[in-house]
Chains A and B, each alone.
Chain A
């Protein structure tokens, strides 16, 4: 079965390429294929490992559950391209990125895994650059950053997998450090966040899901798994680094959101801030840290997809995603504005939405040890909410909106459904637990050593 899962995205990429000029067919097929892949990933939990050229291929249950969740969100982005057209190659490039990523998590040799990861990130950059509307060197700079981080990890993998070199009696200490540095860059945590922001500003949903959900989910799972393996020599250093870089990312994201003049820019910094909160939760060392972090990651994924599709819908309806363009947006796109606001407020950790639970636990945790830091975090946490209030004030103005058109109903409903889900989870967190208890347990079954 594992071979089927690993080859499925490449077959889907070939079909998506063949259908690229038939937008409705390509979008429908891609969404359906993603859902099938998500189902296969859940069904294969704990399936026996396979061997290829002497290398073990296996997808553990938590890895499968996280990938299934990410791929299901990608399916939502795919189906939104029905009425919101994106580049004709986006579906194929997304499947290729996904295919190589699956190989990266399935193969147990770190060096081979890193080579697959590099291939996957290159396809993600291609997918994001496909929708560029102005000449920008961003794609090339991101490509250079990601490939460099990949090579750093490749060198680290060699050091880790060849622990005792000639004339050396102890394994190299540089290996785990370089490996973690590679993860740090790819996760776009502070101060390496800069390469990722333009990917969120590109007005397309598929690259946002690839860079904002699929890549960080996979990397964090890999990172947590390797804390018991290749990264074990770093001991408690990794959780501490995660915690402090997470705090810096959270603060930078909060301040950055307030300074944005476009919704795409706001989403970029909101996603970054929420990633900071997740990293802080994972690195906190508390008994519930991994559950808190993973829950935050799941909520972040839903919020990011909802707001991403919302911004795309608003851009097509009003002309662009500039905050000044949003004056009177509620009259032309009431459903989208409501859904986008719900998703944005959840990403900013505003009560009673889903994102609040993670933020509140973090604030409490930090306040118990360093009150001034907690105050700084609360203040920077309020800045995104203030930025969203600016958007809301403009959107609810009763002014004529020239050269605009009504929102597309199908993506608007998707955005509102996802936003409402975040509100529902925030108000009644236990509601879905009874329905998806087993799946939730698998999803949260990742531990970080204290």
Chain B
């Protein structure tokens, strides 16, 4: 019986590792609109992993709130992309006082994210977090690390904000696996939505400030 459990556990970890690697790779994409895919995927993965501890109804709530958060980010990314000459505006904005660094390409981002993921994997291999299943602790550490990396590498509020959401998702996965009351799950979801709204709002304000003459936003 124990041998079967260990085999199941090993298979689950493998699946989680594959899913996390795909998500990490997708986060390196250039298109901001496409970032919705890994964002939604990581919400699905995180909610699925804690579904056994929070139960089916709370799993549904968590999943719905995660997808709603992704939708908010998608709308913002689409509005940014639909701006005439938005690339020029973004370039102007990122050349401001706050960001005098050249825009990093997808290869650089991929390398950075891979290093962060390796760091998370190393930490996870080093020791178990008490009261948490290995799959949950791996996912939480991984998402936390790549989220932090995206915040550091982000040269515009949308990318940094998505990093914050991923980081928050990692932390909340860990937290909700040990604290799973209805009120806490609902409030954590509400906080996620509010952070997503703030990211969307700050991104639009940032772009407006970069191009004050623009009337599109």
Give chain A's interface residues, CB within 8 Å of chain B. 53, 55, 111-112, 115-116, 118-119, 122-123, 125-126, 129-130, 132-141, 143-144, 147, 151, 154-155, 158, 162, 165-167
B198 touches A143 (CB 8 A): yes
Contact pick for A135, options B93, B182, B197, CB 8 Å = B93
Is B217 on the interface with A (CB-CB < 8 A)? Answer: no
Contact pick for B96, options A115, A126, A134, A144, CB 8 Å = A134
Knowing A53-B183, A147-B195, A165-B130, the reply to whether A135 touches B206 (Cβ < 8 A) is yes
CB-defined contacts of B93 to chain A, threshold 8 Å: 135
Knowing A111-B184, A144-B151, the reply to whether A158 touches B175 (Cβ < 8 A) is yes
B171 touches A137 (CB 8 A): no
Per the 8 Å Cβ criterion, residues 17-53 of B in contact with A are none
CB distance from B111 to the nearest CB of A (A): 22
CB distance from B217 to the nearest CB of A (A): 13
CB-defined contacts of B191 to chain A, threshold 8 Å: 115, 118-119, 122
Total residues of chain B contacting the partner, CB 8 A: 39
Contact pick for B160, options A136, A140, A162, CB 8 Å = A140
Most buried by B among A143, A162, A165: A143
Knowing A122-B195, A137-B160, A144-B164, the reply to whether A112 touches B201 (Cβ < 8 A) is no
CB-defined contacts of B107 to chain A, threshold 8 Å: none
Knowing A112-B183, A122-B194, A167-B130, the reply to whether A140 touches B178 (Cβ < 8 A) is no
State the CA gap A115–B181 with chains docked (Å).
13
Contact pick for B98, options A55, A138, A155, A158, CB 8 Å = A138
State the CA gap A336–B182 with chains docked (Å).
52
Per the 8 Å Cβ criterion, residues 64-111 of B in contact with A are 92-93, 96-99
State the CA gap A156–B182 with chains docked (Å).
20
If A122-B194, A122-B195, A154-B175 are given as contacts, then 13 extra A-B residue pairs at C-beta distance below 8 Å, sorted by A number, are A111-B179, A111-B184, A112-B187, A115-B188, A115-B191, A116-B187, A135-B93, A137-B99, A138-B98, A140-B157, A140-B164, A147-B195, A167-B130
State the CA gap A139–B190 with chains docked (Å).
20
State the CA gap A137–B188 with chains docked (Å).
25
Knowing A125-B198, A134-B96, A151-B171, the reply to whether A165 touches B131 (Cβ < 8 A) is yes
CB-defined contacts of B96 to chain A, threshold 8 Å: 134-136
Interface of A is mostly: helix
Residue of A nearest to B155 (CB): A137
17 A/B residue pairs, CB under 8 Å, sorted by A: A53-B182, A115-B191, A119-B191, A119-B194, A122-B191, A123-B194, A129-B205, A135-B96, A136-B96, A136-B98, A137-B98, A137-B156, A140-B154, A140-B161, A140-B202, A147-B164, A147-B168
State the CA gap A143–B164 with chains docked (Å).
9
Most buried by A among B99, B202, B209, B210: B202
CB-defined contacts of A136 to chain B, threshold 8 Å: 96-98, 206, 209
CB-defined contacts of B151 to chain A, threshold 8 Å: 144
State the CA gap A123–B168 with chains docked (Å).
17
State the CA gap A140–B157 with chains docked (Å).
6
CB-defined contacts of B182 to chain A, threshold 8 Å: 53
Contact pick for A126, options B97, B131, B190, B201, CB 8 Å = B201
Closest 7 CB pairs of A and B: A135-B93, A135-B210, A115-B187, A137-B98, A140-B157, A139-B202, A135-B209
State the CA gap A165–B96 with chains docked (Å).
49
CB distance from A104 to the nearest CB of B (A): 11
CB-defined contacts of A167 to chain B, threshold 8 Å: 130
State the CA gap A138–B206 with chains docked (Å).
10
A133 touches B209 (CB 8 A): yes
CB-defined contacts of B156 to chain A, threshold 8 Å: 137
CB-defined contacts of A140 to chain B, threshold 8 Å: 154, 157, 160-161, 164, 199, 202
Most buried by B among A55, A129, A140: A140
B168 touches A126 (CB 8 A): no
Most buried by B among A123, A133, A151, A155: A151
A158 touches B164 (CB 8 A): no
State the CA gap A134–B97 with chains docked (Å).
9
CB-defined contacts of A115 to chain B, threshold 8 Å: 184, 187-188, 190-191
B130 touches A132 (CB 8 A): no
CB-defined contacts of B205 to chain A, threshold 8 Å: 129-130, 132, 139
A158 touches B179 (CB 8 A): yes
Most buried by B among A116, A130, A134, A162: A134
CB-defined contacts of A125 to chain B, threshold 8 Å: 198, 202
CB-defined contacts of B207 to chain A, threshold 8 Å: 135
State the CA gap A111–B120 with chains docked (Å).
26
State the CA gap A55–B188 with chains docked (Å).
17
Knowing A118-B191, A143-B195, the reply to whether A158 touches B178 (Cβ < 8 A) is yes
Contact pick for B183, options A55, A118, A130, A137, CB 8 Å = A55
CB-defined contacts of B184 to chain A, threshold 8 Å: 111-112, 115
